[in-house]
Structure 1
Amino acid sequence: MLDPVARQRALIEETLRAVCPIRTSIVGVPCIFAPEQPATAVAAPAAPVAPSEGDVLRAVRELGLPSLRVHIEPATTTLVNVPTNLYAEPEPFERTLDLLGTPVRVRATPSSFTWHHGDGTSQRTTSAGRPYPHLDVTHRYQGPAEALEVRVDVIYVVEYAVGDEPWQPLDAVITAEGAPSALTVREAAPVLVQP
């Protein structure tokens, strides 16, 4: 049986072993506590990354630029060797996109039009054509045909502005393929009639 002083010392040492696993040899200091680990610094939120030209190009391609429907005069049937009038009606295109948390303004302007006549020929113009009596864009069909698919593809030049920065050109052109319109080409023969 331990004397009361030895029992008290044993109780204190047992308590210290439970509370303080690191002992010291310095007289009067029963143990050394491990220093607290510094709190992990929280990283400051990164500044938004400005979208690259490639990011803008990808976004515009995913968005898609407006395709145009070709208007044909006369409407669904024309005649061999008669000028058939073609025109389209482009509209201004401007959008604001959110890319990588940054607003990017995009605008697209038609720069040229490729007219596919449906008979294996095509032509490129910088004009969108106009309704009759203007004959800016015409085509003469050389022979009769049924259900030709006539369409116009638009080639756009695109500009973009990141945030409040000035407009800059996108170093790529984007083509929007138009939907086809059906056209029949007839052959007419002159007939003399009694007045």
Structure 2
Amino acid sequence: MRRLAITLCVLAAWIVVNASVAQACVGLDCDDPVVTTGQGALTAAYLEQGPGGSGVASNSPPPNHPYTYRLSHPCVVDDRENGGCRASDFRECPAPPDRVVEDLVPEQRRLALPGPDVDGDGNPDGGTVTTDGFPTDGAPVGTPVGPWIVGARGCIDITALNPPPSPAEVFRYFQTLPLPELVTQHQPPGDGLTGLPVIFYTDSPTTQTFTVDIRGFQVVIQATAEQFTWHTGDPTGQIVTTDPGQPYPDQTIEHDYRTGTYTAHLTVTWGATFTVNGSTAADVPGTTTTDGPPVTFDVRQARTVLTNPYD
């Protein structure tokens, strides 16, 4: 159960995608990739920390940087220390376009550094040391030593680690896509008649596929029209359906009007799934809408007119 809880928490923060293509690993059992989440944590060679726990992580440390870092989702830390996650472990960090900013708990661990140059020949020959004197026990340069030191939780920019796009990041792109504006069709064409329902439908495409590049990852977004809101143009309000309607004689969407002139239009709610570098499809966590062009028509009342058939 403990491992299951960790797995669920990690999946809430990062989407699992094809790591070999992206040269990055997201999961619980990664072996020496560029970016890992071993035991639910990203690893980084450098973390430039700011106020309030914020920071920017990368794999480009200064020479002889004294620490290595791991960045864990708060749920993972809570599960590790307390045996379960809490609602407060989940928080969304604001992120500019093309940046990945996650709510993470940073931890740092000392690295063995070159010791002093005892004989003055320009080469360190005093074994290895750490930045604060913690014993290395002779560990080679670059070896992590000692326990992990927990830092302050905060919003950390991990874009330089190039993790696969998160669902939230894909959603931001999804909201900017040029989704089709579905056209409202009505029958009878031209003017309608009182006592005869107006039939609504759309024959515009209700699916659309987009391929976008997000930080070097090929993301395929499959958008699907999930809900149709037919604005009838009269005081009765709207008709909400999950289908695009059909023309006569298979009509599914009808509306009765009184005499007058009306302007109708269609609002479509779009959902989507996405893949990253050919991964398994996942849901985009949100929807967006488009408004189709308006259509104006008259509804008239038919009147009986007596004529002389012999004229």
- 2:238 maps to which residue? 122
Flag the structure with larger Rg.
Answer: 1
Q: How many residues are aligned here?
A: 153
Alignment pair present for 1:188 and 2:297: no
- 1:4 maps to which residue? none
2:168·2:285 contact (CA, 8 Å) conserved in 1? Answer: no
Alignment of 1:47-62 (within 5 A): 48-62=162-176
* Higher RCO (C-alpha 8 Å, min separation 6): 1
- 1:131 maps to which residue? 247
- 2:225 maps to which residue? 110
User: How many percent identity over aligned positions?
Assistant: 29
Alpha-carbon distance in structure 2 between the residues aligned to 1:47 and 1:90: 41
Alpha-carbon distance in structure 1 between the residues aligned to 2:247 and 2:204: 13
For residues 28-83 of structure 1, give each alpha carbon's deviation from its aligned partner in whole angstroms, at most 9, with x where no partner exists: xxxxx9959xxxxxxxxx55331121221111111132110001112231112211
Alignment of 1:79-90 (within 5 A): 79-90=193-204
- 2:177 maps to which residue? 63
What is the CA RMSD across the aligned residues, in angstroms? Answer: 2.2
- 1:96 maps to which residue? 211
Alpha-carbon distance in structure 2 between the residues aligned to 1:96 and 1:130: 30
- Runs of 4+ aligned structure 1 residues displaced above 3 Å come to 33-36, 192-195
User: What is the TM-score of this pair, normalised by structure 2?
Assistant: 0.46
Alpha-carbon distance change, 34 to 189 in structure 1, aligned in 2, over 3 angstroms: farther
For residues 68-126 of structure 1, give each alpha carbon's deviation from its aligned partner in whole angstroms, at most 9, with x where no partner exists: 00011122311122111111024231111101111101001112211111113210112
- The one-letter code matched in structure 2 to 1:137 is I
2:201·2:246 contact (CA, 8 Å) conserved in 1? Answer: yes
Alpha-carbon distance in structure 1 between the residues aligned to 2:270 and 2:204: 11
Alpha-carbon distance in structure 2 between the residues aligned to 1:188 and 1:159: 49
For residues 1-26 of structure 1, give each alpha carbon's deviation from its aligned partner in whole angstroms, at most 9, with x where no partner exists: xxxxxxxxxxxxxxxxxxxxxxxxxx
Q: Where in structure 2 are there 5+ consecutive unaligned residues?
A: 1-119, 124-159
1:145·1:186 contact (CA, 8 Å) conserved in 2? Answer: yes
Alignment pair present for 1:144 and 2:256: no
Alignment pair present for 1:177 and 2:291: yes
2:200·2:253 contact (CA, 8 Å) conserved in 1? Answer: yes
Q: Where in structure 1 are there 5+ consecutive unaligned residues?
A: 1-32, 37-45
SS in 1 for 2:287: strand
SS in 2 for 1:112: strand
**Superposition deviation, residue 193 in structure 1:** 3.6
Alpha-carbon distance in structure 2 between the residues aligned to 1:60 and 1:173: 8
- The one-letter code matched in structure 1 to 2:304 is P
